[in-house]
Amino acid sequence: MSIVEAQPALDPTERAEIRNLIGHYPTARAAAIDALKLVQQRRRYIGDNLLAEIAHLLGLPAAELDGLATFYNLIYRKPVGQTVILLCDSITCWITGRDHLAQHIERRIGIKPGETSADGRFTLLPIVCLGHCDHAPAMMANDVLHGNVDPATLDAMFDATPLP
């Protein structure tokens, strides 16, 4: 049973865009990731009802699309905050102090990896090497890459993000 409320159904634009994505490939299912990402871009996460709708458009059983959605790190099946912080936890960032940054985040806004702050502003998730190891430690915050991250970078972000 889901404790998460249903999200509003896909609107006609979203449906049209998904059909358009399907047209890019020889089979409909090949558009699965593109479709999930398109919807997530607007809705932040893919709740059960949206998953079922997308699956229907792709001609897949919802369970099968769920198997795909949950396989990937960047598809969120649960609500996430307004800003998703992806803090690299791979080797070079680990050497250069990413654990201290995680501790700083916990001290400042009270969340551990996998958690969302009570005000809904931030979610912290670990991420695999961002290919920015020459500027380690690295993180992405809502698609923006940051290198040489230090507590001041984080504080600036926390202070700049308005309440929802």
Partner 1 sequence: MNTAPDRPLTRNIHRGAPHFDIAAYERADGYRAVRDTLGKTDPAAIVHMVTESGLTGCGGGGFPTGLKWQLMPSAAQRPGPRYFVVNADEMEPGTFKDRLLLEGDPHQMIEGIILSAYAVEANMSYIFIRGEYVTAIERLSTAIAEATAAGLLGENILGSGYNLSIQVHAGAGRYICGEETALLNSLEGHRAIPRAKPPFPQISGLWGCPTIVNNVETICNIPHIVRYGAAWYRSLGINGGVGTKIYGVSGRVNHPGAFELPMGTTLHDMIEHHAGGMKTGYELRAVLPGGASTAFLPGDQLDVSMTAQAMAAHGTRLGTGTAIVLDDHTCPVGFIANLQQFFARESCGWCAPCRDGLPWVERILKSIEAGTGMIDDLDTLAEMTGNLGPGRTFCALAPGAMASLQSGLRYFSAEFTRHIETRACAWT
Which of 8, 12, 23, 26 touches partner 1 by CB under 8 A?
26
Size of the site for partner 1 (CB under 8 A): 42
> Binders of partner 1 among 117-156, rule CB under 8 A?
127-136, 140, 143, 145
Q: Is 93 annotated as a binding residue?
A: yes
User: What are the start-end ranges of the H helices in the chain?
Assistant: 12-22, 32-43, 48-58, 62-69, 91-95, 98-109, 151-160
Q: Is 55 in the site for ligand FES (CB under 6 A)?
A: no
Tokens of 109: 């806004």
- How far apart CA 132 and CA 62 sit, in angstroms, is 36
- How far apart CA 161 and CA 157 sit, in angstroms, is 6
* 154 contact choice in partner 1, ligand FES, none (CB below 5 to 8 Å, kind-dependent): none
Pairing of strands 144-146, 83-88: unpaired
Query: Which residue lies nearer to ligand FES by CB, 104 or 132?
Result: 132
Q: Cβ of residue 131: shortest distance to ligand FES, in angstroms? A: 6
Residue ranges for the known binding site for [2Fe-2S] cluster are 88, 93, 129, 133
